[in-house]
Amino acid sequence: MLTDARLVAAKDLRIEMRSKVTVSQVVPFAGLVLVMFGFALDANRPTLDLATSGLFWVTVLFVAVMAVQRSTAIETTDGARRALLLAGVEPSAVFMGKAAAVAVQLLAVELVLIGGIIVLYDASIEEPLLLVATCVTATAGIAAAGTLLGALVAGVRARETVLPILLLPVLAPVLLGATRAFDDALGAVAVNGWSWLAMLVGFTVINVAFGVTAYGVLLEET
Amino acid sequence: MIRLDAVVALLGRFPALAGVDLDIADGEIVLIQGPNGAGKSTLLRLCAGLLRLESGSATVLGSDLSTSRAAVRRRVGLLGHDTALYDELSVVENLEFWAAASRVDRSSVLPALARLGVAPRLHDVAVSKLSAGQRRRVALAGVVVRRPELWLLDEPHAGLDQAGRDLVDDLVVEAARAGATVLMASHELDRTVDLATRTVVIAGGMVVADRLGSVHSEAGEGCAD
């Protein structure tokens, strides 16, 4: 399964590198969202300091919707989903590969966004290990849930609008947990970020397990 | 090789196949004819193991489609209306991906492209830059790479120039000589009737005529209308 997952992930990442969608569209979009939030809240500096973590993760969720839509479109545009079934690739490997590719893209965007909140919002990182662990865990959960829901709406005509409606509520626990853990990592609010990280681990494990189990059914039916 | 008995298959709620009975032996070249919406493409997809049986029974390549569709899929080559090629990847990258995904040696990619007349200068070109005909040839090369036991070709001549159409005909004959079975849905009767060893006519999701030999040479040969 890991060989097939690597194959699918490498293919998706290669397509993204060629299309340059992440670099030329997604990163500028994420940067703009961060700047707009900055404009909206800069007049009230304490509010911006308190909201930095939440703004960061809301931006990540917007980016995740775009990344998942793109990942889904790769397989639906010219019948590649059907060809994956014919090739005999394990659906769980397709799921793992596509989720991994989405996660890599999100992590790259998050790296830029962390630079953005340091420069634009004057944030400081007090617990780098917690920050990195939160990014990795939350991103894995987002990618897993997104890839699964992307497959669910793949056969829907208006999937571009349906996906965010389904995905954002599902990702609400990530927004909550990752924001709290980031609050601790950035020293913005006195909370136990590690306990929120544990909640994120649970969310991620559940979504990965559910994705590995259910993706095959969705691949067949949509 | 293929045995369908009262097969019903749905597309959504619509019965695209409404009780198909069909027996096809190894090495046959079967032309599937019928008007638009008759169920030709659905029949090919069913035989590829991509559709669920609603009722009836179906055995393809010795596997029961109601229980072993995955086993069938690995052994068929399907050329549908879509080409299943990734626009951003090059011709060779596409076929190498599908070869690796299908557990086929990647070294068979270049010979397959040569067989389909895809010029070496196009090998590293992104698929999005190809013409529809070139794209179709690359997709056919992808079928050749898999060396399937059952070829399912939906309008295989569509979008191809004269040389490409001749290549398709040669491939079909070669595949059948090698023992593979070929099912071809086509409206290009002038070309395909001479290739076919049998012609099956579908209308309304049912087989309405089943003739041994092509429709041009039906006189004196078996007929099971």
Segment A84-127, tens digit of pLDDT: 999 989 999 999 999 999 999 999 999 999 999 999 898 999 99
Q: How confident is the model at residue B219 (pLDDT cuts 50, 70, 90)?
A: very low
Kind and range of the H or E run holding B97: helix B91-101
Domain chopping of chain B, boundaries:
1-75+149-225, 84-147
Instruction: Determine contact: B216 vs chain A, CB below 8 A.
Output: no
Mean pLDDT, rounded, of chain B: 88
Q: Tell me which residue in B70, B83, B84 faces A88 most closely, judged by beta carbons.
A: B70
Q: Which of A88-102, B15-29, B162-176 has the highest mean pLDDT?
A: A88-102
pLDDT exceeds cutoff 80 at B224: no
Number of domains in chain A: 1
Q: Tell me which residue in B74, B93, B97 faces A88 most closely, judged by beta carbons.
A: B74
pLDDT over 90, % of chain B: 62
Give the mean model confidence (pLDDT) for residues B155-161: 88
Distance CA B110, CA B119 (A): 10
Beta-carbon separation of B84 and A80 below 8 A? yes
DSSP-assigned letter for residue A191: -
Beta-carbon separation of B126 and A18 below 8 A? yes
Are A18 and B124 within 8 A, CB to CB? no
Q: Tell me which residue in B50, B86, B101 faces A82 most closely, judged by beta carbons.
A: B50
Q: Which of A76-90, B82-96, B128-142 has the lowest mean pLDDT?
A: A76-90
B192's tokens? 């395909």
CATH superfamily for B1-75+149-225 is: P-loop containing nucleotide triphosphate hydrolases (3.40.50.300)
Q: How confident is the model at residue B223 (pLDDT cuts 50, 70, 90)?
A: very low
B window 87-126, beta carbon within 8 A of A: 87-89, 93, 97-98, 100-103, 126
Kind and range of the H or E run holding B114: helix B109-115
Instruction: Determine contact: A78 vs chain B, CB below 8 A.
Output: yes
pLDDT at B221: 41
Mean pLDDT, rounded, of chain A: 92
Q: Which of A3-12, B69-78, B92-101 has the lowest mean pLDDT?
A: B69-78
B181-217 per-position pLDDT tens digit: 999 998 766 666 678 889 999 998 999 988 876 544 4
Beta-carbon separation of B50 and A19 below 8 A? no
pLDDT at A148: 95
In this predicted complex, what is the ipTM? 0.88
pLDDT at A77: 84
Distance CA A40, CA A121 (A): 12
pLDDT at B193: 67
pLDDT exceeds cutoff 80 at B175: yes
DSSP-assigned letter for residue A121: S
Q: Nearest CA to A198 among A116, A152, A109, A138?
A: A138
Burial (CB count within 10 angstroms: exposed 0-12, middle 13-18, buried 19+), residue B12: exposed
pLDDT at B225: 40
Domain hosting residue A189, numbered range: 2-221
Instruction: Determine contact: A5 vs chain B, CB below 8 A.
Output: no
pLDDT exceeds cutoff 60 at A66: yes
pLDDT over 70, % of chain B: 92
pLDDT at B222: 40
pLDDT at B192: 67
Distance CA A115, CA A111 (A): 7
H runs (alpha helix) in chain A: 2-19, 21, 27-41, 45-76, 80-87, 91-120, 128-152, 159-170, 172-185, 193-221
A165-222 per-position pLDDT tens digit: 999 999 999 999 999 999 999 988 888 989 999 999 999 999 999 999 999 888 886 5
